[in-house]
Every structure is written in structure tokens, then in C-alpha cells.
Amino acid sequence: MTKNQAETLVERLKNACNFHRFDEPGVYVEYVRALARFDYDRMEQAIDEIIEEDSRNVPPISVLIKKYKGVAGTKGGRLEVKNEQYCAVCDDKGFLILEELMKIGEDNEGNPVTMKYQFVYHCPYCAVGSQYSYEGSQCKKRSDYRVPAITEVLPDEAINDIYRKNLKKKQQNNNEIKARSLRDITLAVGKDVPEAKYFDEFIPGDAYEGDIDPDIDPEDMPF
């Protein structure tokens, strides 16, 4: 959900319950930040059920999340975590897949025989990525399996290249959506217009050649 939607839900809790701590420093902001990670409709339903059960006190964040988890529609009871802002490192997927050549044996002449394998790495820069972090050695039933962070295998510059490439693609997709919307509105009133083009956010060259959009704040880079 958006920040405004989260604030709407917090205001609802504030008005519906007799006692709350939202006037204390940091409490209101923390509730908004926590709720913004989840789906709006499901959280609203969870709050509906909580108010019906007890409207005296605003429940702790942990109780809200537990109720959200039990709301119908969540897959297998798993929380649906969303990023508050777009993550250009993983394209909001939470993970990255890299292909690597692995030696699987040798041919009759002793030359190495390789095969391409895919390996999954979680994104350590966003909330969605935290879902894919896994350490088998920390589980009750221990194993060697793990999903490491992408930072363990790629250098800073390579991650920044991925960041720039995904951000460029995101900007271009947004421009295409704007152009299609403009054409649809115009066609609806019976007039044709030439295809709209946007150049303000165009990044010359390929992201892997090191070209950086001057509109991108260097402070927004992962490194």
C-alpha cells in the first residue's frame, strides 16, 4: 500500500479505539511505516476484525500483523511484503538469478566439460529481498543450503550497473505507459495524434558501458 493509505488506516485506528499512543513521539510514524509494507485491502479487513473484537485499545503492530496473516486471501498464511519504494537492484523481485559455467567432468581427451547452472541470490537492499534470505545452518533441521546476498558474489560496480540498467528500463516503461494513455484519451474523442516521445530521461549508450543519467542522484546508488 502507499504511505497515504497506511496513514488512513492508522487514523482509523486512532478514531475507532478509545486508547492509543499515537501522540507519543515516533509511535504514529512507526505504525505507518510498518503497515505500508502490506496489502491495503487485507490490512483493512484485519483492522475491521480487530475493531469488532475489541475497540478499547489500539493493538500492537505484532498483533496487527498476526491478524493480517490470518485474513483470507494470503497464500498459505504467508505475509505479502511490498517495497515502499522501487528497488532498481532487483527490479522489485527480491532476488537475482546469475548463470555460471560449472565443470561437470572431462571428455575423452581430458578437456573440461562444463554446463551452465543458474544460482539465486537475495537482494539485501529491500524488504521484498529479505523474504528470500535463507541460512540452512540457522534452522532447527540444519542443512548446507543457503540463499546468499548478491553482494557476496558481485562487486559494487557490477551492482551499480544493474541498478542503472533496471532504472533506465523502469523509466522507459513509465514513458510508454504515459504515451499509450495519451493516445487512448485522444482516440476516445475521435482525434489521432502522433506517437508521443519522451527524451528527458533518456540515458545514452548501454548501462554496462558506464554511462550514468545526470538526473540520477549519486546518493541513490546502492554504493
pLDDT value for 185:
64
Secondary structure, 3-state, 90-154: CCCCCEEEEEEEEEEEECCCCCEEEEEEEEEEECCCCHHHHCCCEEHHHCCCCCCCEECEHHHCC
Shared domain for 139 and 201, answered yes or no, is no
Position 85 in a domain: no
Position 33 in a domain: yes
Domain C-terminal end among 152, 169, 194: 152
Position 103 in a domain: yes
Position 53 in a domain: yes
pLDDT value for 199:
47
Quote the pTM value: 0.48
The tally of domains found in the chain comes to 3
Domain C-terminal end among 111, 132, 152: 152
Answer whether residue 210 shows pLDDT above 70: no
Average pLDDT over residues 166-182: 82
Residue that wins the pLDDT comparison between 158 and 212? 158
Domain C-terminal end among 152, 175, 190: 152
Average pLDDT over residues 58-66: 85
Shared domain for 17 and 53, answered yes or no, is yes
- In this predicted model, what pLDDT tens digit does every residue of 179-199 receive, in sequence order? 776 666 666 555 555 555 544
Give the domain range for residue 148: 95-152
**Surface-to-core class of residue 159, CB atoms within 10 Å of its CB (0-12 exposed, 13-18 middle, 19+ buried):** buried
Position 181 in a domain: yes
Shared domain for 7 and 66, answered yes or no, is yes
Position 82 in a domain: no
pLDDT value for 158:
93
